[in-house]
Structure 1
Amino acid sequence: MTARPPRTAAALPPDQAARLHAALTESADITVFVNGTAHRLPDDTRDAVVDLLARLSDGDTAQVSSVAELLTTSQAAELAGISNSYLRKLTDAGTLAVEYRGSHRRIRRADVEHWLSTQMGRRQ
């Protein structure tokens, strides 16, 4: 599991910030292009991207960080289609990484999905 450090973008030069601010206020049409392909983002994701752009257009320095989706043992077991006790054995053995919040185990969704994909690969 690789944690990415937060990334900081310096404030835009005033002329670029002004052009970005004007573009954001003139239209609600936000299109994201990656490698020449347009992508439609879910509303909450689009709003986060627009918020970042708005902060830069205001001349602010912006910092981006991410938060992994953490599941309870019950949620992780349900996602994996296994019992809670088997999931706890997997975490105790170190097969699935676990984080503790007090005495409560939390498991990253991505780790459960990765474990599932390795299990499916073994069955084929």
Structure 2
Amino acid sequence: MTAEPASNALPDAESAALARASAQELSQLLHERPEADRARVTLDGRDLVLPRQALALLRDLLADMAQGHAVTIVPTHAELTTQQAANMLNISRPHLIKLLENGEIQFTKTGSHRRIRYEDIVAYKQAQRTESRRLLAELAEQAQDDNLGY
């Protein structure tokens, strides 16, 4: 399977507006037809049949574009380099290496190179987010108990 080269460029205002309108329309169609498991799309006079999962993914992609975000699609089974994983987590590569070596994130080695599965990065990120929310709730409860006015 070949794909067009990915662009990490942010969408311009016109593209963002088109993405917003398309996402809204697609979201409405998916909502109105929950039983539909595929859709016919015409592109330059050619009919394509897309599965519902692809339409839902397209809706989500368009919604992100509408907010002015650049979007990258990564298969869940993909293996990332340490730099790619660090970028996803918004941390430095040396800090990621420490997390890997401490066993906080699983990885494999290919020769001397570490590879991290995308799904392991997502799981770590979700666990961190959950822990942050728990700690924030704990702090808010403590502030209430101490009558700090929060």
Q: TM-score, normalised by structure 2?
A: 0.41
Q: Which has the higher contact order (CA 8 A, sep 6+)?
A: 1
Q: Which has the higher helix share?
A: 2
